[in-house]
Structure 1
Amino acid sequence: MEPLNGTIHVVAGGGGASLDDFSCMQSSWSLLGDKDFGFVTLIVVDHSTIQFEYRRSSDAVIHDSFEIAREYKEILATFTL
Structure 2
Amino acid sequence: MRSTEAVITEIVEAYNCRWGQWVRVAEIAAKVGLTREELAAALETLMDEDETFRAEPEPFGHRVTAEDRAVAPVIGGEARHLICWYS
Q: Do the two structures share a fold, i.e. TM-score over 0.5?
A: no
Which structure: larger Rg?
1
Give me the TM-score of the superposition, normalised by structure 1.
0.25
